[in-house]
Chain A
Amino acid sequence: MQEGKPLNSRQVNRELLVSILNSPKWFFGALAVLGFIVLVAMSTAGFMINQGFGVTGLNRPVMWGFFITNFVFWIGISHAGVMLSAILRLSKAEWRRPATRAAEILTVFSLMTAMTMPLIHTGRPWRTVYWIYTLPFVPYDYARGIWPNIRTPLVWDPSAVYTYLTSSILFVLIALIPDFAVLRDRTTGISHRIYGMLAMGWQGNARQWKLQIIAGVLLSALILPVFVSVHSIVSWDFGMAVSVKSWHSTIFAPYFVVGAVHSGVSAVALVLIILRYIYGWQNYIRHEHIDALARLLIVVATGWFYFFVMEVIFGFYGREADEIAVRDLQFTVSPWNIWMMIFVGLTYFAPVAIWLSRSARRNLWIMSLACIIVNIGMWLERFLIIVPGLARKQLLTFDWYTYRPSSVEWIIIIGTFALVSMLMLTIARVAPLIPLYDIKEAEILRTEIKIGRVTVPATFRED
């Protein structure tokens, strides 16, 4: 599994820090474009808050549409971080090394972006800010002794997401300490001081390395329950609803979690391929890593498909007319059934067919395409769960309607993608997106075994 040539420390430092120390020519241009899109999206959101929700496509009964889909989507993307860095670190998979940092940072930014969605989608966001976002400082009507309703999944949501956000930020910052120290030693002036503060006096001696490893392992283990709980709780926004029959399914929690890992890991694979291309990191993000990610994705996608089939089968199992009405819309009415077929194809059959072929796994263009279609499919999945359930809520057919998103919603959705890209690009300028010490560690532990006439790559194992 070690196909590249051996690298020495100096080379690793020079090549991986290229994004920070010499910023490429196109960098500010790209940032400006993305920033502009984000500004447009923010003004559109402001326009929507000012005018009211009438500017969107929401109606009665479809009260939740694109924004909630987007919220669930970005929370889903955020699951890549823990999957790749925590789970693969605990199972000692060598091929995780280049992917962990990018995954963790993508997690932090997608969580932040996801949380903007519930904020703007509430009817009175100025009140929501007061209530959720300034929680430690300005309690909401607590003078009357009425605290937030902890019985609702909408309160479990921010609790879980903020816990995940806090622990992910901690995880990233602690993992970055040795790399900040490297940067501290190579910069001057204000950057030097800031990196110095972030590096917290890292000298790289044995005691500090030991603490660093223990911290990494502990944080990985502790963040795992948070990771599982976050998307479960988000899924329970829908699972707890008793009126929308197609949502009231016990399997939503693991279904959403596995779907999140599916879309998240695909997103990270895409990010890695992009990084490899724009920064020239061919020595670090090698074909073998993308290959391993693809094979992991086959397993995850199959698990996802199992949960999806279970959800649909048990939807029909009850033979309840209201649920059948929703499934009818999803599977027989155009254009919903077309979207349904596209979604299943894009999320499972097409990418898994691609990933089963070794040459396709090793071809980066095809892999990027596969990862993009997975994410399109998963976005559609959330949409097809949320909106048909609301469009055919119960059997009062007089109230059945449909949903047509307005341009306001499209702009804001595109704005969130631009926001995450912009944040990732900015961070690439500030911190290395491939962990330097992980790569150097891999080089140190790398060796070979001779078995008969064959030389097999090997690593040292510390326990």
Chain B
Amino acid sequence: MVTKRADHKWGMVVDLDRCTGCQACVVACQAENNIPINVKSFYQQRRAYQWIRIERYWEGEFPNVKAKFIPILCQHCENAPCEPVCPVFATYHNDEGANVQIYNRCIGTRYCSVNCPYTVRMFNFWEPSWPKSLRNQLNPDVTVRTRGIMEKCSFCVQRLRRGEVNVERRGLEPLTGERIPAGERTMNYRQMKEGNYLPACVQSCPTNALQFADQHDDSGPVKEYFEEANEQIETRHQGGHVDESHTRVYRLFEEIGTKPNVVYLKKVEPFPLEKA
């Protein structure tokens, strides 16, 4: 029996105006996805495993310095450069618009990481291990990877799948448990929020800087931003100019043409630094 899957297209919006750089998303992701603990030596070796990382840039000269934060995670590109180069098809684009990694196929050639412009793909340089006391903390829904495997943000696919199973297949409302009629079983944003089917980083962000929903979902927070981002591409195609000072919407490294499924909103600068 094959159930018809609803057509989702997941998208994330990162609002840089709200991001405080608190790293709650980083910690939540690490807890949810069985990511090994980063000890100091990992950072010094530049091998820290962080599926979502906060990059911090300094602007200006002391004493007029400002820190700028940008969370960078897998952009789940439509035209992902990492996908055509994996020799064993360990990474591919699923029909929900996300780029997924199949851990047991990966042989660790690392070409996907080389070809990723955002360098969001992590390689297991060491055999991951947790102290005995922390082993109960591991998430049973997520594979524990061994050394030599590539891994990256999956939009917490395990949560999305759980949501799809509960809401779309079984037809149960998350909070109340009542049956959803057969024709209306597409999971919407409200149901995701109530049932905790959003990715861990989105769930844990204290300022709601990270928003996640189906790009076609009218009730979701991301639709308008993706529409605007797609309009920008159309405008450029027609040969027009996009006035960047009048919109906050942009995508990372758009000019490379990877077509990311993550949209960033520029930080609004109330006290801009004087340009020297």
Contacts and interface: CB of A to CB of B under 8 A. Distances in A.
Q: Do A and B contact each other directly (Cβ–Cβ < 8 Å)?
A: yes
Interface of A: 51-54, 58-61, 63-64, 118, 121-125, 127-128, 131, 140-141, 146, 148-149, 151-155, 237, 240-244, 390, 393-394, 396-399, 401
B109 A122 contact: yes
Nearest to B111: A154
A153 B115 CA distance: 12
B220 interface: no
Interface string B113-129: 11111110011111100
A119 to B, nearest CB: 10
A265 B124 CA distance: 39
Contacts of B88: 131, 140-141, 148-149
23 contacts: A52-B124, A52-B125, A52-B148, A54-B47, A59-B125, A60-B48, A61-B46, A61-B113, A123-B123, A123-B124, A124-B146, A131-B87, A131-B107, A141-B88, A141-B105, A149-B84, A149-B89, A153-B85, A237-B111, A241-B114, A244-B114, A393-B117, A396-B55
A462 B256 CA distance: 58
Interface in B108-166: 108-111, 113-119, 122-127, 146-150
A398 B59 CA distance: 13
Contacts of B117: 242-243, 393-394
Contacts of A123: 106-110, 123-124, 147-150
A244 B147 CA distance: 25
A123 B47 CA distance: 14
Given A131-B88, A151-B84, A390-B114, A124 B108 contact: yes
B120 to A, nearest CB: 10
Given A59-B47, A60-B122, A124-B106, A152 B111 contact: yes
B31 interface: no
Contacts of A125: 107, 148
A51 B105 CA distance: 20
B45 interface: yes
Contact of A59 (B45, B55, B105): B45
Contacts of B57: 397-398
A241 B81 contact: yes
A342 to B, nearest CB: 26
Nearest to B113: A63
Given A53-B148, A60-B46, A240-B85, A396 B118 contact: yes
